[in-house]
Amino acid sequence: MAKFEFDDEGSRLVEEFNASAGATRRRDKILEALALNSGDHVLDVGSGPGSQAFEMSPVVGTTGRIYGVDATESAIEIAQHQCSELDNVQFQLGDASNLPFDDSCMDAVMSSQVFEYLDDVPSALAETYRVLKSGGRVLIHDTDWATALWHSSDQDRTARIMKIWDGHLADPHLPQTLGRKLIDAGFANVRTEAIVQIDTIYHPGSISAILAKAIRGYAVAQGVSQDEADSWADDLEALGSSGDYFSSWNEYIFTADKP
Ranges of residues in the chain with a pLDDT under 50 are none
Per-residue model confidence (pLDDT) at position 19: 84
Per-residue model confidence (pLDDT) at position 4: 58
Tens of pLDDT along 6-48? 556 666 777 788 889 999 999 999 999 999 999 999 999 999 9
SS3 137: strand
Selecting from 3.50.50.60, 3.40.50.720, 3.40.50.150, 3.40.50.300, what CATH number does the domain 8-257 have? 3.40.50.150
Residue 25: how many other CB atoms lie within 10 Å: 13
Q: What distances in angstroms separate CA 197 from CA 104, 112, 175, one per listed residue? A: 35, 15, 16
Break the chain into its structural domains and give their ranges.
8-257
Per-residue model confidence (pLDDT) at position 253: 98
Reference 211, options 175, 178, 236; nearest CA is 236
Tens of pLDDT along 52-84? 999 999 999 999 999 999 998 988 999 999 999
Per-residue model confidence (pLDDT) at position 11: 64
Per-residue model confidence (pLDDT) at position 74: 87
Per-residue model confidence (pLDDT) at position 3: 54
Reference 219, options 152, 185, 168, 147; nearest CA is 168
252 bridge partner residues: 142, 194
Per-residue model confidence (pLDDT) at position 10: 62
Q: CA angle at residue 224 from 218 to 225, to 5 degrees?
A: 115
pTM of structure: 0.93
SS3 48: coil
